[in-house]
Structure formats: structure tokens, C-alpha cells
Structure 1
Amino acid sequence: MHSEAQPAARTPLWRNAQYRRWFAADTAAAMGMAMKSFAISLVAFSLTQSLALSGWLGTATMIASQGAGIFGGTVVDRHDRRTLIIINALCGMALWGLAFALLALNLLNFAAFAVITVVASTINGLLQGATNAMLRSIIPTEQYPKAQSLNQGRDSVISLAGSPLGGVLYTFAPWLPFAVSSLMYALSGASATRLADTGNGDHGDNGEPPAAHGSFLADFAAGWRWTLRRRTLLTLTAIASLVNLGINGIFATVNLHLVGTHVDAVRIGLVEMAMGAGTLLGALIAAKVADRMPLGTGMVVVSTVALATLAPMLFSDGYAVVLVCALLVSVPIPVVNSLIMGFVFAKVPSDMQGRAGSALGLLCMLPALFCSAIAGSLLPLVGFGATIGLFLAVLAVNVAIVLAKPTVRSLPAADRWDEVTL
């Protein structure tokens, strides 16, 4: 079993049976999430006829997921990761199956729907890190950038197709997206049961028994302590958080501006589709270059491209300009995501994968959580151009940081990551 969990570097990904099972489980879960996500706001509004309540439900689910994710990494590192993947899938199947059944029987009210949604988001936030953490025991380090690029390409396809398919299902019956979501989670759990039991990853590299854990709080604190002492990781995290803040802030501004100027929903949706198309193109590129491109080069590219491709919106809010910018800015993101996540995968010890991943994920995304609030507050006061200018300034500061940091620019490609000190 050990030889299957740690295939030789020369073994192609798709010839690794463990990876194929892992990919099937992860893909089914991603499809399940896409199906139910589209329908949540529509069902919430149909139950309440209140945009405010529908919006607050979306906010509550994000808070629940992010809040649970803070502790999720510690849970992932303390328990068998295959078991956690299966539990997450079973909970998704049960909760969204319950939503489907209550809705189909006309027994669903907003309070029950809110409880189902928030509980499902909390469980998913707590356990979802087990999937990526388990990869450490399935594929060798040098294959991770390619695996991540494949994941991002798949996610782009699901993102492009998810909303239209969810809309078609919802048109037939409001409960149908939840029924399909429940089925997808069931398939995810069934695929995960065929994964080899690799424990919490502590013995994935050397076959030794896992180290004894302390208390939950001690492990939680140890994860943050370990992460906050790694200067290279923190520098990469700071750069990623600025890129996330700048890009997400600009497109939150674009979305609110289009809504405020009464652009129809189809054209607003095309902006997200343009970003999905750019991400898919980037994922195809990442599959070819991610295992050879130096990480430092990728950081310079994504930082400068983000600033350059979004700068035209400082001068024009034309719809065609917005679409082109959305397409172009998304292309390098999968390449850099593959490099950063591969670097973390390679450099973080197996028994710290979950905790480091949740800590770094929170630090990367925390500023971006406030993008909509910032954009919504500034747009009525200073207008579109000035609000865009603020977020472009964030991206400009990021470019200056990247160019001023030789330790970032010199980060090598995957075959030399063992030479880098965190």
C-alpha cells in the first residue's frame, strides 16, 4: 500500500490509481458545491421575498465557512484524512438531500433553510482541507504543480457550466439543483472510500507511525506558531493577499457599478464567464509550464499583469473594456496558484499541511472579504474611476514590493525547491 501511496516521480498522474480516485472524489464534491450554490439565493428569495434576508444568508454562510476553516486545519492534521473526506461528503449528501426533500414536499421555510445552509457551510469549512492535505500521501512533490493546474482547469469548467446548468435545473424544479448536489456528494464519498488509508499524512513520506498529538488547542497554536515564523511563506502570503484585494476589489466595484446602472443580469453574468474563460486558458498554460517556471518569475508576472490589464478601467467603464480586462487578468492566475500551492505542498511538513494551509488561506483572503463593503461605500461618494483607482493603487504597491524583494524574484522552479529556506 505504501508503494501505491508514494508513486515514483516518473509515473504519470493518470496512471496513478490513487490519484484518479482522489480526483474523482474532489471533482464530484466541486460539482455538488456548484449546483447548490447557484440555487441558494434564489430559494432564499422565493421563501422570503426579501433581498436583504437573502443577502444576509449569503454573508452568514461565508462567515460560517471561514470561521470553521480557522480550526479546520488542526482537525485535518489530527485525524485520518480519508475519513474526513468521507464524512464531509456524507454530510453534504444528507443536508442538501434534506433541503431537496423539504422543498419538493413544500415543507421548507426560511428558518430551516438557513440552518441547513449554515450548518453545511460550517462542516465544509471545517473538513474541506482534508482533500488537498491528502495529496501529500498520493503524489510526489514534483507532480503537484501539474496536479494543481489540472484542478484549476476542472474548476474553471465547472464555474463556466455551473450557473447555466443550475439555472436549467432550477427552471424545471427549484428542488432539482439540491437533488443533483446530494447525488454528487454521494459519488464523492463513494470515490473516497476507495482511497488508501494514509492516516493524517505523518507517515506518508517515510512509513513511520504518526507522532503523538497534544491537545487540540496546543496543536492549533503550534500550527500558527510554525506558520508565522516562516518569513518566505509570509512574504508570499502578503503578496497574494494584496493581489486578491486589488483584483477582487476591482470586480466588486464593476459588479456594483453594473447593477447600479441597471445593466441586465445576463450581461453582468458574462463578466464572470469572461473571467472563467481566462482562468481555463491559464490552467491549460499552467499544465505545460508550472513544473518548469521559477516561482519568483510567476510572482513578478501575476503582479505586473494584474496592474497592466486592469489599468484601462481607470479611464473607461465601457462594457467591452470590462470584458477584455476580466479575460486577460485571469490568465496568469492559475499558473501562479499552481506554483504557490505546489511550493507550500513541497515545503510544509506532512503533519502540518492542514494547519499551515488553513492559516495561509485565511491570511491570503482576509483583506478580500471586505472588498464589497469598500466598493459599495466608495462608489456613491467618489464614483467608478476613483474607486477603481484605489484598488489599482493596492496592485501598484504590490508590484513595488515584488520588484524590491530579491528573495522573492529569485525563488526557483519546482526541481530546486528543496534548496529554499522558509
Structure 2
Amino acid sequence: MTTATTPSSLWRSPRYLIWLASDTSKGLAAALFGFAVPLLALIVTDDPAQAGIIGGAGMVAKVVFTLAGGILADRHARIDLMIVGSLLGVLLAGAFTVLALADALTFTTLLIANVLLAARSGVFDVAGESAIKEIVPDDAMGRAQAANQGRDAALQLAGGPLGGLLLSLGGWAIGAAMTLCQFVAGATAWMLRRGEPAASDPPAELDDREGDAPATPASAWSELREGFSWLLSRPDLGGVLLTVTVINLGFNAAITTVIYALQQAGHSEVLIGTLGAAVGAIMLGGAIVAPLLVPRFGAGAIAIAGLATATVGTVVLCWVDQPWGIVAVLGASVLLLPALNAGMMGYFMVATPSRLLGRANSAAGVLAMGALPLAPLVAGFGLAWLGREGTLLVCAGLCLASVALAVGNRALRALPVESRWAEHAKRYESA
């Protein structure tokens, strides 16, 4: 047990490194496509409304198919699903490349491609996210999630410049890079499967903390309902989801408001993109620090501190409208978010039994993503009706509500340091 908790233990685990390589390759493919689709849609259609339809359809497809992905991840071997998902990703990315080379990208083909790729992500990504429970021990899960936060920040930082470089060559270059990334993701997932076949046994057989595995529910709907019901019945998890949903809406609406206001003030897209990269770099710094915080401070304390910092930053933005001042404020606001996410996701992984992890993961993802489409609406209508300062105060009010929810949630406040997560979670298993 002692060696599992040393900070360097994760980087000495070949299986974790292979999983990280697979998940990172898949993430890079998603980052490139996420960057390219809005721009390609505008180039092809020259109509923001049609581009919005393409983007919105992809978001809806991902939310819907994530629910199906959670069920599959609990029914079947998760690493096998990673392999199948990557192979399908290779085929879809390859088809997109062919369409781009043939100059056949239209509103219809882009819409279909975005929906299919989003649906693939929804169906198979849950399995990859859940498979980490079979690879990383509970007392190292927080640091694993912190490493994931750093990886995600790096992909966010690199996705724009790399995507812009590839897109300057043509849409086919984005497709070719995605194809390569999905191939690498599939090859490394296959290495993971081959290295330890027993790790890919059906997840229900892996969880011995819950006793005998329950009988298989009669239908996919009952399985999905079981995942939602279990998640929302846990005081240490259900309250966290509500808090995360509120802060996601408030803080993302604030960022969107700032971006819209900068555009209206006449600042160039290049400058706005540079500001976003600068904030991403600061978040990457926070992700580097996160593995040092999670083993030393309670996850509940980190969460409250991170929420409070984001709230204060949102309030301060009301009186800061210069680009680099905005970077400074947003940078300070997001510095603790990687540690917050690492603590919350790490505890979630430890507390959730393996037989339910896929469905619980998809339920949490749907609830978290559900508020995000509202952020542009809050920003757009807020700017029209209330102006920049008024809209940011509304966003700050939402962020403050998330802090109040966190402080008022005894189970969340009590979340301990990483090494005590498994022990703490057992208190709620009979609930």
C-alpha cells in the first residue's frame, strides 16, 4: 500500500501509461475536430445559422449517445470497447478525409460527419473513462485524475494552433491527423488488452466491495434508471453534481460574455484566441500543481476554495475590460479548477462500484453537459438586455450559488484527502 501512494508510482505503471497514451490520442483527435468543425462550417456554408445547426446537432448526438455508452460500458469489457471505438474512429475520420480531398464537404456532409463522430464519442468514450478504475488503485486515483487534467489543458492549449496549421493546408489534413490519432488510440488500447486480458473481464465481476453482483436488469431503460437513481441517492455524489452543474453554467456564461464583449468592442479574433491560449497556459500550470494538492488537502476543501476563487474572479471581471487584465483575472480564477476537477473526479471513480461506473459516468456527464448550451444564451440575451456588467453579475450570482451549495453540503465538505477516499466512500454504500 505504501508504494501505491508515492507520487511517482503512476509513472512506473506501464498499464497506466499505455491507457494515458490511448486516451490522449483520442483526445487530440477530438480537439482537432472540435476546432475545425465550426470554421469549416462557416467556410462551407457562409451562414452562422447553418454552422450553429451543425454544432448543435453534434452536441445533442453526444449527449444522447453518452447514455447508451454508459450502458454498454457496464455490460461489456471496457478495453474491448476502446478498441472497437478507435477502429470506428479510424473509419469515420478516413471517410471525412476522403470527402475533404474530393471537395465534397457541404452543409449536409458536414452535418452527417459531425453527428456520426459525436455519436461515436458518446457511445465509446465512457468505456475509456471508466476503464481507468481497472488500472489505477484507489489511493492513486486523485493523482491520475490530476494528470488527466494536465493532459486536457495541454490539448486545449495545443489544439488551436495545431488545428489552425493543419486547416491552413485543407480540411483533409485535419481528417488525416484524426485518422492517425484514432489508429494510435486503437493500437495502444490493443496493447492494454493484450498485456492483461483479465483486466477486460466484464466490469460487474471486478467489484467485490458491493458483494454479489445484482441480477441484470430487464431492459436498457431500467439499467439507465438504476445508474441515475444510485448516483442521485448518494449524498456525497448527488450534491456534487448539482454544484458542478451550476458553476459550469455561471462560469462558462461569464467567459462567453467576456468573449462576446471583446468582439463587440472591435478586438480581433487573433487577439481573442491568444487570450484564450494564455488562460489555457495558466490552467496547465494549475494542473501541474494539482497532484501536489490532492494528496495533502481534503477534496471538499479544495472544491470550496476553487469555487470561491472562480466566483471572486467573475465579480472582478465586471470592472476589468482590458484584454490582458481579463487574462490576469481569468487566470487567477481557473488556477484551482484542475485540482477541483481532479479531486471530484478522483473521488467519484473511487466511490462508484465498477458495475455501475459506466452508467454513473454517463449520467454525470449528461448532467454536467446539460447546462453548457445555456451559457451562450445567458451571455447573448444578457448583453442585449443588461449589458456587460449586469450579465457578469448574473453569472457571479450563479457561481455564488454553487459556493453556497458546496458549503451547505456536509457530505461534500467532509470529502477527505486522496488516501482516505475509499474508507470515506464506504460510509455511504448502504445508503
Deviations 1:320-355 (A, max 9, x none): 221112211111011011111111111110101111
Q: Distance in 2 between matches of 1:375 and 1:89?
A: 36
Q: How does 1:22-421 map to 2 (within 5 A)?
A: 22-195=19-192, 196-197=196-197, 198-206=200-208, 213-214=216-217, 215-417=219-421, 418-420=423-425, 421=427
Deviation at 1:212, TM superposition (A): 5.1
SS of 2:257's partner is helix
Q: Distance in 2 between matches of 1:320 and 1:248?
A: 19
Q: Distance in 1 between matches of 2:113 and 2:12?
A: 39
Q: Distance in 2 between matches of 1:300 and 1:43?
A: 40
Q: Distance in 1 between matches of 2:137 and 2:332?
A: 32
Q: Where in structure 1 are there 5+ consecutive unaligned residues?
A: 1-6
Deviation at 1:44, TM superposition (A): 1.8
Residue 320 to residue 107, structure 1, CA distance change in 2 (3 Å) = closer
Moved more, 368-377 or 412-421: 412-421
SS of 1:223's partner is helix
SS of 1:194's partner is helix
Q: Which amino acid in 2 is paired with 1:143?
A: A
Q: Distance in 2 between matches of 1:400 and 1:210?
A: 38
Q: Where in structure 2 are there 5+ consecutive unaligned residues?
A: none
Deviation at 1:205, TM superposition (A): 4.8
Deviations 1:219-243 (A, max 9, x none): 1121112112112211111221121
Q: Which amino acid in 1 is paired with 2:344?
A: I
Residue 149 to residue 72, structure 1, CA distance change in 2 (3 Å) = same
Residue 373 to residue 194, structure 1, CA distance change in 2 (3 Å) = same
Deviations 1:65-97 (A, max 9, x none): 112112321121111111211121112111111
* 8 Å contact from structure 2 (residues 301, 413) kept in 1: yes
Deviation at 1:8, TM superposition (A): 5.5
Deviation at 1:255, TM superposition (A): 1.4
* 8 Å contact from structure 2 (residues 140, 418) kept in 1: no
Q: Which amino acid in 1 is paired with 2:402?
A: N
Residue 43 to residue 203, structure 1, CA distance change in 2 (3 Å) = same
TM-score, scaled to structure 2 = 0.91
Deviation at 1:286, TM superposition (A): 0.7
| Matched positions, count | 416
TM-score, scaled to structure 1 = 0.93
* 8 Å contact from structure 1 (residues 244, 368) kept in 2: yes
Q: Distance in 2 between matches of 1:99 and 1:271?
A: 31
Deviations 1:240-291 (A, max 9, x none): 1121111101011111112222210011112321331122011111121212
* 8 Å contact from structure 1 (residues 271, 326) kept in 2: no
Q: Distance in 2 between matches of 1:252 and 1:126?
A: 28
Deviations 1:373-405 (A, max 9, x none): 121112111100000000101112222333334
How much identity, in percent, do the aligned residues show? 28
Q: Which amino acid in 1 is paired with 2:350?
A: A
* 8 Å contact from structure 1 (residues 82, 199) kept in 2: no
Deviation at 1:201, TM superposition (A): 2.2
